[in-house]
Amino acid sequence: MLQILLGILLLSRRFMKKVLQFLRQMLHLLVHSRPPGLAQMQTISSLLQLRALVLVILLVISLLHQT
């Protein structure tokens, strides 16, 4: 049972790293495409909030993996 949970944690961590990479690319495209308008700034803000959430999830997964 413990091995299954560890496997799920590792897969979740890999998935979250891919999500983080995707968010980073989206932010890069939005910031460097043209001068951001209000709608782009709101999108960037939302992506940054998602990125922060993913980082917290990765931290929790790492802490669970250590215990």
Spatial CA neighbour of 59 closest among 15, 13, 25: 13
Rounded to whole angstroms, the Cα distance separating 6 from 51 reads 24
1 in helix, strand or coil? coil
pLDDT in tens, 18-36: 999 999 999 998 888 878 7
pLDDT of 20? 92
Rounded to whole angstroms, the Cα distance separating 3 from 35 reads 49
Over the Cα atoms of the chain, what is R_g?
Answer: 15
pLDDT of 65? 78
